[in-house]
Structure 1
């Protein structure tokens, strides 16, 4: 291996690492705030890429009726809950329908605009809106009633949600993969490297989002509320911070990060309905490097995972996935010896 090949592999590793960093940050956020090891994070990636592909073809992607169906089911559950609590019908209807107004508006607007062959930028906005709106709906339906359950129970639920979303992805998009057009067709030469415009967009967008997340947690009231919930759920609740609202916001942010990641990588690789699992799992490996607790550590771990994957594909392409996932074992062993396990109460 000479310097030029090493430079190409490093660039490829940094590009992939930028995506893994976003997913790792979402994984750390979800676990810190809700104690959920969110396995289906990768499904948001696949949904984002394939929803955009459907819009490119002028069809209505299955994620749009899925969003509307979730809104209807949740509204029905809230209505029944309100009536059982002894509320009047009008009050129960208002409490059930108002929270679903925004998802329904997003779904209906996307349904109307999908066949109109809008410019790529508008299609990206529609994609991000629809997939992001799915996040809090999934939390409300699958997790909110189990917010105080053990981590093991939440993990089991996550496995079930993963299989459900993967199956729905097959129904929505079929078994064939899709690849979207590049956002920027330019290319630049830097020594032995040929850097594409899409690569610059991926790295730039990932860096900008990481910076915005830092500003959100450091400067905004909502970000500080999420940090407080992550540090002490009971203390945050006593201070008036709703754990349910924190969970919905966390899922919204995770869905947006996943959808954006899918949109960014879809011009560089073919995405299938089940491609998100491996991509999300690599983000999880990066998050484990940081102990599911440190945002900077997760970002650094993601870069390491990207570089390890890139160089492994050069030396032993058939075993690159094995090498990446095996790298988690010494990290887990080290953390187990450093912080012995305590029973959860």
Structure 2
């Protein structure tokens, strides 16, 4: 291996690491606020890439029907809870309207625009609008009633949600994979390196999202509420911060980050209905490197995972996944020695 090959592999690793960094930060965010180790984070990546792929063919994506089905399920569940809680019909109807308004509106817009094959930018915006609501809907269906359960119970639920989303992904999207066109086809030469426009977009989007998250948590009231919930759930609840609201917001942000990651990674590889698991798992490895607590450490861990994957694919491509996931073992040992184990009450 000479310097030119090493630099190319390093660039590929950093590019993939930028995607894994987004997923790692989403995993840290969800765990910090809700204590949920969110295994299905990668499914949003697959859903977003497949949604764009189907719209590229002029087809209505299965995301529309998936979103409507979940919204109706949540509306029915809210109505049942409202009847049990002896709420008025007006309040129950308003809650159903709030639940269904956005999914129905964006689905109708997609039904109209998708057959017309709009520009890639419009398709990307529609995809974000379709996939992002999945976060709050999944939280309401699977996690809200178990918000005070142990971490182990929440982890088991996450595994179940992952398998459910994977199966439903096959139902709504089919087994065909898609590789989407890049947002910017320009290429730039830098010595032995050749930078594509899509790579620059990945770097810019990752940097913009990191800055946006920092501003959100530091400057906005909602961000400070999430930070308070992450530090002390009971104390935040006593201060009037809704733990359910914080959970819905964190899951919605995670879904947005996952959808954005799907848009960015779609032009670089073929995505199938079950591809999100491995992609999300690499983000999870980076999040474990950060102890599921630190965003800067998650970014560093993601870069290590990306570079390790790139060089492993060169030296031992058949074992690159094994090498990447084995990286988690020394990290866990280091975490175990550094932080004494404390039994959860």
Which residue number corresponds to residue 199 of structure 1? 199
1:183 and 2:183 equivalent? yes
1:331 and 2:308 equivalent? no
- Give me the whole-angstrom Cα distance separating, in 1, the residues matched to 2:294 and 2:302: 12
Shift of 1:339: 1.7
1:318 and 2:341 equivalent? no
- Give me the whole-angstrom Cα distance separating, in 1, the residues matched to 2:280 and 2:16: 12
Choose 206-215 or 111-120, whichever is displaced more: 111-120
- Give me the whole-angstrom Cα distance separating, in 1, the residues matched to 2:43 and 2:292: 20
Choose 76-85 or 237-246, whichever is displaced more: 76-85
Which residue number corresponds to residue 248 of structure 2? 248
- Give me the whole-angstrom Cα distance separating, in 2, the residues matched to 1:29 and 1:85: 32
Which residue number corresponds to residue 57 of structure 2? 57
- Give me the whole-angstrom Cα distance separating, in 2, the residues matched to 1:100 and 1:233: 29
Shift of 1:89: 2.5
- Give me the whole-angstrom Cα distance separating, in 2, the residues matched to 1:17 and 1:46: 17
Contact 2:62 2:173 in 1 (8 A): yes
- Give me the whole-angstrom Cα distance separating, in 2, the residues matched to 1:183 and 1:87: 49
1:1-345 equivalences in 2 (<5 Å)? 1-345=1-345
Q: Structure 1-normalised TM-score?
A: 0.98
CA deviations over 1:297-324 (Å, ceiling 9, x no partner): 0001000100111111111111111111
Shift of 1:196: 0.8
- Give me the whole-angstrom Cα distance separating, in 2, the residues matched to 1:267 and 1:95: 39
Choose 114-123 or 158-167, whichever is displaced more: 114-123
Choose 69-78 or 2-11, whichever is displaced more: 69-78
Shift of 1:342: 1.9
Shift of 1:168: 1.0
- Give me the whole-angstrom Cα distance separating, in 1, the residues matched to 2:98 and 2:260: 27
- Give me the whole-angstrom Cα distance separating, in 2, the residues matched to 1:270 and 1:103: 27
SS at match of 2:15: helix
- Give me the whole-angstrom Cα distance separating, in 1, the residues matched to 2:226 and 2:113: 34
Choose 315-324 or 100-109, whichever is displaced more: 100-109
- Give me the whole-angstrom Cα distance separating, in 1, the residues matched to 2:98 and 2:133: 15
SS at match of 1:164: helix
Q: What is the CA RMSD across the aligned residues, in angstroms?
A: 1.0
Choose 108-117 or 118-127, whichever is displaced more: 108-117
- Give me the whole-angstrom Cα distance separating, in 2, the residues matched to 1:95 and 1:176: 37
Shift of 1:106: 2.0
- Give me the whole-angstrom Cα distance separating, in 1, the residues matched to 2:334 and 2:112: 53
Shift of 1:189: 0.5
Shift of 1:102: 2.0
SS at match of 2:133: helix
Contact 2:286 2:302 in 1 (8 A): yes
- Give me the whole-angstrom Cα distance separating, in 2, the residues matched to 1:88 and 1:180: 48
SS at match of 1:188: strand
Deviant stretches of 4+, over 4 Å = none
Q: Structure 2-normalised TM-score?
A: 0.98
Contact 2:65 2:172 in 1 (8 A): no
